């Protein structure tokens, strides 16, 4: 069935079964490839997008459940005031190794900073523990969140 | 060549690849459809456009180790250009132009350091010669600043862009004849440089294998037996095809033995069932309806628990063979002031790169085109040729960015599967494994067992060392990555040393995982050395230094051990970490030290832990002193690799274990195979100790010592010795 989704400010239609996880509708039907597949069971965070500003694991959200909610993906971060800062910090600190987890990390970090502009280390742990980085770039992820929030990095 | 062999014959490979590379790399490679149309190729790696834009080809696969940036940095340095003007282009698999293209063994830096600087220097000299011709002067009168040739005497200058076309008439100089820069004048090498793809990564650009799209592409899943290699007994293909969007479902006979050589260059197509659909989700739903049954398989009785029992019995008995026997271990043990006996074990573990195995393939008119996240493209091409019965020349392999490698993508079975399915499907196919496929159809870091006995004399010197190593293999052969060198440290440093070996035949595929061999051997050896230090009542760090003896080097190349370099990093890490003041740590905290030489790098690490009464371990900090020679090519990437390797090691030690029962892997996804998360990641402080040796690689050697540094710290904090991994709170409860 056809669903019209609001993705990064655009209305896009996809003809999929309603139980198709949003991740796959975005990737395979709409060609929005930034959100990544890592586990499919809400354990890695690679698929993180924002729905109405909240970070969610898109592998767990059936397409039929989205309705008219605003979906923002990593592709929409350049137009997001906090997202821009996070992306810039990620570039400045050369955070990534393979980079595969980083769209999800940036989505979680942006949601964190939008809600809590000066997070403590404990806040960062709580908000980011759902995002695995197999390359273990955690040192730089933490530093980049601090930088994006204008706090001392170490 | 396998990753395993790479480790064994590193020096030979180094020599042969370099030699081949030098002659080959100067062929000119104009690439069809390149973004810089009108640019002149100066050699296979460098093109210069009229506007001065420089394109440099990155020859090797990028798996997160930063090689797509660091190898071109070497070329750009000697070419003398502004890094900001450099465009990097990922090479396709093309061994004729680029020699071996692989990511493994931390070998890219040592293999290319000389060669690729010469590639840049040769191109620069050609630009100088073109300018000299135009000015009718001797090339020796010319110099360069980034992107510009200068004739100081006359004040003339020409941009590289304006000279590029004229280079077509300039003969290529002999690469051996060019003079390389004095490192003091480096502008690019040695400067922290962000990865070339950094902007694409943070904006979610489709850089990875999983992101490849082709016109008319369909999606595939491939179901294989839970007992690796078992054949398909039955599958309800019609039920799968009844799912909306599913186009095809078919059984692939395959080769049941392919699985056992999966980590190797050989291997092939493992039996299974393919489902092809308009979307991947539809393919997965179709797969769920297959109602699969599998044939019996010879390994369907194997279990890790039974192997552990068998190993215990073997370890207590007479060894199958003795790999090394120096002096008289029995006599030395008898005469020792103190002896220690200890049994160690480590589990199977999985690679689990975050991007599951995938590959896109298109078969048309007898030709195969492949887009693969692979660490090892040429063996993949050969494997496809052999399995599909087509000529290697009719196969093109494009290398995509890899979402992690860790050795997993040295095997190429997903490439063969995609190729096979694409030919059957008659359309371009993107094959994507589920996470469960990826975890259950890995080739694993093999487990292993060590039964140690050691002795120290009254002065605290190690006088006896015996290891009965119980591993997997058959006869005198080890299963892939399950071996140990007869030179394994402290062999050659202890006068009475014996290494006994017994092996058990294994049906589960094994192969190289980041720092293969070393990732397990460092844990057991460095822990047992720490046990001996405590038995001798010695400071463990001083004990390590004393064990390294008085000679600067031991043994001859290629298996030489440079004790002076190791002592250098041990002393450095002692200073960095405040080792001498560790006695002041509160109760429940401790520091441990370990060192290890692998992949040509010398690493010493100190770990500081706090262990709660419930046995929960918190790593507070890790210090690393590293000696990889005289030059760090890209300090930003280098730091990232070292920090990541250390955390990877801690993650293995604290969490990771693959078990099997009835021949089936028991873990399937991150909930039952956890990895370290950010809340557990300690700060990692790194110091590169510079020594006057040629630079070597950093993808692996920081990992091995992190594990025993952790377990030795746990001992210091609790008095409890961790002799098997992963560390579990039950082991440490007060
Ligand atoms: S793919 Fe959604 S959390 Fe891992
Ligand atoms: S950078 Fe590779 S998984 Fe995070």
Between the CA of residue B278 and those of B161, B206, B419, B431, B705, what are the distances in Å? 47, 20, 18, 12, 48
**Cβ-defined contact of B204 to A34 (cutoff 8 Å):** yes
Pocket test for ligand 2, best of A74, A91, A95, A133 (most atoms within 8 A of CB): A133
CATH number for the domain harbouring residue B54: 3.30.365.10
End position of a domain, from candidates B192, B224, B251:
B192
Residues B343 and B364 in one domain: no
The string over B485-508, giving b where at least 16 C-beta atoms fall within 10 Å of a residue's C-beta and e elsewhere, is eeebbbbbbbebbbbbbbbbebbb
* Residue B678 forms contact with A (CB below 8 Å): yes
**Cβ-defined contact of A138 to B678 (cutoff 8 Å):** yes
User: How confident is the model at residue B5, as a pLDDT?
Assistant: 33
Contacts with B200 from chain A: Cβ below 8 Å:
99
The pTM assigned to this predicted structure is: 0.95
- Residue B9, domain member (yes or no): no
Contacts with A100 from chain B: Cβ below 8 Å:
64, 208, 353-355, 403-404
User: How confident is the model at residue B33, as a pLDDT?
Assistant: 55
The string of pLDDT tens digits covering residues B101-112 is 988 888 888 889
Best of B61, B192, B198, B202 to substitute, by most chain A Cβ atoms within 10 angstroms, is B202
Contacts with A102 from chain B: Cβ below 8 Å:
201-202
Backbone dihedral angles phi then psi of residue B419, each to the nearest 5 degrees = -65, -45
CA dihedral B95, B10, B444, B417 (to 10 degrees): 10
End position of a domain, from candidates B440, B475, B507:
B440
Residues B322 and B259 in one domain: no
- Residue B199, domain member (yes or no): no
Domains in chain A with CATH codes = 2-76 (3.10.20.30), 77-149 (1.10.150.120)
What residues make up the domain containing B614? 304-349+444-732
User: How confident is the model at residue B28, as a pLDDT?
Assistant: 53
B residues 553-572 near A, CB within 8 Å?
none
Element containing residue B581 per DSSP (H, E): none
User: How confident is the model at residue B260, as a pLDDT?
Assistant: 67
For residues B146 and B298, give the distance between their C-alpha atoms in angstroms, rounded to a whole number.
64
- Residue B671, domain member (yes or no): yes
- Residue B197, domain member (yes or no): no
Tell me the two tokens of residue B286: 């179709």
Q: How far is CA B317 from the centre of its chain?
A: 35
Beta carbons within 10 angstroms of residue B559's beta carbon: 14
Residues B218 and B359 in one domain: yes
Number of compact structural domains in chain B = 3
Strands B553-554 and B561-562: antiparallel
Residues in chain A, how many? Answer: 154
For residues B180 and B161, give the distance between their C-alpha atoms in angstroms, rounded to a whole number.
22
| Distance from residue B62's CA to the centre of ligand 1 (Å) | 23
End position of a domain, from candidates B405, B440, B475:
B440
CA dihedral B700, B702, B706, B709 (to 10 degrees): 140
Asked if A148 and A89 touch (Cβ cutoff 8 Å), the reply is yes
Residues B344 and B370 in one domain: no
Residues B225 and B106 in one domain: no
User: How confident is the model at residue B636, as a pLDDT?
Assistant: 97
Ligand nearest the Cα of residue A37 is: 1
**Cβ-defined contact of B678 to A20 (cutoff 8 Å):** no
Q: Is the CB of B64 under 6 A from ligand 2?
A: yes
Residue B192: closest C-alpha in chain A = A94
**Cβ-defined contact of A102 to B636 (cutoff 8 Å):** no
Q: How many CA atoms lie less than 13 Å away from A136 in the CB half-sphere?
A: 25
User: How confident is the model at residue B35, as a pLDDT?
Assistant: 64
Atom of ligand 1 nearest to the CA of A42: 3
Residues B114 and B245 in one domain: no
For residues B241 and B258, give the distance between their C-alpha atoms in angstroms, rounded to a whole number.
28
Residues B554 and B619 in one domain: yes
Instruction: Spell out, as residue ranges, where chain B has pLDDT lower than 70.
Output: 1-35, 37, 260-267
Asked if B409 and B376 touch (Cβ cutoff 8 Å), the reply is yes
Among residues B37, B33, B41, which one has the least CA distance to residue B57? B41
* Residue B13 forms contact with A (CB below 8 Å): no
For residues A71 and B509, give the distance between their C-alpha atoms in angstroms, rounded to a whole number.
42
Between the CA of residue B199 and those of A36, B84, B194, B206, what are the distances in Å? 17, 14, 10, 12
Which residues have CB under 6 Å of ligand 1? Answer: A 37-40, 42-47, 57, 59
Residues B282 and B327 in one domain: no
CA dihedral B723, B725, B726, B731 (to 10 degrees): -20
- Residue B590, domain member (yes or no): yes
For residues B593 and B522, give the distance between their C-alpha atoms in angstroms, rounded to a whole number.
12
User: How confident is the model at residue B12, as a pLDDT?
Assistant: 34
Residues B496 and B625 in one domain: yes
Asked if B353 and B402 touch (Cβ cutoff 8 Å), the reply is yes
Pocket test for ligand 1, best of A39, A74, A128, A129 (most atoms within 8 A of CB): A39
**pLDDT above 90 coverage of chain A, percent:** 97
Residues B237 and B378 in one domain: yes
| Distance from residue B208's CA to the centre of ligand 2 (Å) | 12
- Residue B400, domain member (yes or no): yes
Beta carbons within 10 angstroms of residue A79's beta carbon: 11
User: How confident is the model at residue B169, as a pLDDT?
Assistant: 86
- Residue B524, domain member (yes or no): yes
Q: Is the CB of A37 under 6 A from ligand 2?
A: no
Contacts of A149 (CB under 8 A, 6+ apart): A113, A117, A118, A119
* Residue B218 forms contact with A (CB below 8 Å): no
| Complex ipTM > 0.90 | yes
B residues 138-197 near A, CB within 8 Å?
192-195, 197
A-B interface: how many C-beta pairs under 8 angstroms? 187
| Prior bond of B558 cis (ω within 30°) | yes
Atom of ligand 2 nearest to the CA of B354: 3
**Cβ-defined contact of A97 to B636 (cutoff 8 Å):** no
**Cβ-defined contact of B203 to A94 (cutoff 8 Å):** no
For residues B102 and B624, give the distance between their C-alpha atoms in angstroms, rounded to a whole number.
27
For residues B116 and B118, give the distance between their C-alpha atoms in angstroms, rounded to a whole number.
5
- Residue B151, domain member (yes or no): yes
Atom of ligand 1 nearest to the CA of A43: 3
Residues B587 and B602 in one domain: yes
Question: Read out DSSP for B495-533?
Answer: SEEEEEEEEE---S-B---SSTTHHHHHHHHHHHHHHHH
Asked if B31 and B38 touch (Cβ cutoff 8 Å), the reply is no
For residues A122 and A112, give the distance between their C-alpha atoms in angstroms, rounded to a whole number.
12
Nearest to B354 among A46, A90, A138 (CB): A46
The string of pLDDT tens digits covering residues B79-138 is 999 999 999 999 999 999 999 998 888 888 888 999 999 999 999 999 999 999 999 999
* Residue B669 forms contact with A (CB below 8 Å): yes
**Cβ-defined contact of B354 to A100 (cutoff 8 Å):** yes
Nearest to A33 among B206, B219, B636 (CB): B206
User: How confident is the model at residue A49, as a pLDDT?
Assistant: 98
Tell me the two tokens of residue B419: 């190729």
Q: Is the CB of B404 under 6 A from ligand 2?
A: yes
- Residue with CA closest to ligand 1 atom 3: A42
Residue B204: closest C-alpha in chain A = A34
The string over B138-159, giving b where at least 16 C-beta atoms fall within 10 Å of a residue's C-beta and e elsewhere, is ebeebebebbbbbbeeeeebbb
Nearest to A139 among B63, B195, B681 (CB): B681
**Cβ-defined contact of A138 to B647 (cutoff 8 Å):** yes
Residues B616 and B705 in one domain: yes
Atom of ligand 1 nearest to the CA of A39: 4
Ligand nearest the Cα of residue A21 is: 1
Between the CA of residue B469 and those of B144, B149, B310, what are the distances in Å? 58, 62, 13
User: How confident is the model at residue B37, as a pLDDT?
Assistant: 67
The B617-627 sheet, strands edge to edge:
B589-598, B601-611, B617-627, B684-688
**Residue B346 distance to chain A (closest CA, Å):** 21
B47: which strand partners? B41, B55
């Amino acid at each position: 069935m056809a669903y019209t989704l609001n993705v990064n400010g655009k209305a896009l239609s996809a003809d999929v079964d309603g139980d198709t996880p949003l991740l796959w509708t975005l990737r395979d039907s709409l060609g929005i490839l930034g959100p990544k597949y890592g586990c499919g069971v809400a354990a890695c965070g690679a698929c993180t997008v924002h729905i109405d500003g909240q970070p969610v694991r898109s592998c767990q959200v059936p397409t039929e459940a989205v309705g008219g909610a605003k979906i923002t993906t990593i592709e929409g971060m350049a137009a997001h005031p906090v997202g821009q800062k996070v992306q810039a910090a990620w570039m400045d600190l050369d955070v990534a190794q393979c980079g595969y987890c980083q769209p999800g990390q940036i989505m979680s970090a942006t949601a964190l900073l939008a809600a809590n502009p000066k997070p403590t280390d404990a806040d960062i742990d709580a908000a980011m523990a759902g995002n695995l980085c197999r390359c273990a770039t955690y040192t730089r992820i933490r530093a980049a969140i601090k930088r994006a929030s204008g706090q001392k990095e170490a | 060549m396998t990753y395993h062999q790479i480790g064994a014959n590193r020096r030979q490979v180094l020599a042969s690849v370099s030699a081949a590379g030098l002659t080959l790399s100067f062929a000119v490679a104009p690439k069809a459809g390149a973004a810089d149309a009108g640019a002149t190729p100066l050699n296979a790696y460098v093109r210069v456009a009229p506007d001065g834009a420089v394109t440099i080809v990155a020859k090797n696969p990028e798996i997160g180790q930063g090689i797509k940036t660091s190898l071109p940095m070497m070329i750009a340095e000697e070419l003398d250009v502004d890094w900001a003007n450099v465009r990097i282009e990922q090479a396709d698999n093309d061994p004729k132009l680029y020699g071996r293209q692989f990511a493994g063994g931390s070998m890219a830096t040592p293999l290319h350091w000389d060669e690729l600087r010469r590639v840049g220097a040769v191109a620069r000299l050609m630009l100088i010669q073109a300018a000299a011709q135009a000015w009718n002067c001797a090339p020796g009168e010319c110099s360069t600043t980034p992107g510009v040739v200068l004739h100081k005497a006359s004040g003339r200058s020409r941009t590289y862009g304006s000279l590029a076309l004229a280079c077509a008439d300039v003969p290529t100089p002999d690469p051996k004849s060019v003079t390389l820069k004095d490192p003091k004048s480096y502008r690019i090498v040695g400067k922290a440089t962000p990865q070339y793809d950094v902007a694409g990564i943070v904006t979610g650009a489709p850089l990875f294998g999983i992101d490849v799209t082709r016109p008319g592409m369909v999606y595939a899943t491939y179901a294989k037996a839970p007992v690796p290699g078992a054949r398909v007994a039955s599958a309800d293909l019609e039920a799968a095809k009844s799912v909306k969007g599913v186009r095809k479902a078919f059984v692939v006979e395959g080769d049941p033995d392919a699985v056992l050589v999966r980590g190797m260059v050989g291997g092939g197509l493992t039996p299974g069932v393919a489902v092809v659909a308009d979307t991947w989700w539809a393919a997965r739903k179709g797969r769920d309806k297959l109602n699969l049954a599998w044939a019996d398989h010879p390994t369907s009785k194997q279990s890790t628990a039974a192997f552990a029992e068998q190993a215990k019995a073997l370890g207590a008995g007479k060894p199958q063979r003795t790999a090394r026997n120096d002096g008289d271990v029995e006599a030395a043990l008898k005469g020792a002031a103190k002896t220690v006996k200890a049994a160690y074990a480590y589990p199977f573990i999985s690679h689990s790169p975050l991007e599951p195995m995938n590959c896109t393939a298109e078969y048309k008119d007898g030709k195969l085109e492949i887009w693969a996240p692979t660490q090892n493209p040429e063996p993949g091409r050969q494997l496809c040729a052999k399995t599909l019965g087509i000529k290697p020349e009719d196969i093109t392999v494009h290398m995509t960015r890899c979402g992690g490698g860790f050795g997993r993508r040295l095997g190429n079975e997903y490439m063969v599967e995609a190729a096979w399915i694409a030919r059957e499907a008659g359309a371009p196919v993107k094959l994507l494994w589920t996470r469960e496929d990826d975890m259950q159809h890995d080739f694993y870091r093999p487990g292993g067992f060590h039964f140690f006995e050691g002795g120290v004399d009254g002065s605290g010197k190690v006088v006896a060392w015996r290891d009965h190593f119980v591993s997997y293999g058959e006869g005198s052969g080890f299963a892939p990555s399950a071996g140990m060198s007869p030179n394994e440290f402290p062999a050659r440093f202890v006068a009475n040393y014996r290494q006994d070996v017994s092996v058990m035949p294994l049906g589960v595929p094994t192969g190289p995982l980041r720092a293969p061999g070393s990732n397990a051997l460092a844990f057991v050896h460095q822990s047992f050395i720490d046990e001996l230090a405590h038995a001798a009542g010695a400071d463990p760090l001083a004990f390590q230094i004393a064990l390294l003896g008085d000679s600067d080097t031991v043994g001859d190349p290629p298996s030489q051990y440079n004790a002076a370099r190791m002592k250098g990093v041990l002393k450095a890490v002692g200073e960095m970490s405040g080792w001498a003041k560790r006695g002041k740590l509160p109760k429940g905290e401790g520091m441990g030290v370990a060192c290890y030489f692998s992949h040509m790098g010398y690493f010493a690490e100190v770990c500081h832990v706090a262990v709660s009464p419930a046995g929960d371990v918190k790593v507070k900090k890790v210090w690393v002193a590293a000696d990889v020679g005289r030059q760090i090519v890209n300090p930003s990437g280098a730091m990232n690799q070292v920090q990541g390797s250390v955390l990877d090691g801690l993650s293995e030690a604290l969490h990771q274990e693959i078990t099997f029962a009835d021949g089936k892997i028991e873990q399937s996804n991150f909930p039952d195979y956890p990895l370290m998360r950010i809340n557990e990641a300690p700060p990692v402080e790194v110091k590169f100790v510079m020594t006057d040796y040629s630079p070597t690689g950093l993808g692996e050697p920081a990992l091995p010592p992190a594990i025993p540094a952790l377990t030795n710290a746990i001992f210091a904090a609790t008095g409890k010795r961790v002799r098997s991994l992963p560390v579990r709170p039950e082991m440490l409860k007060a």
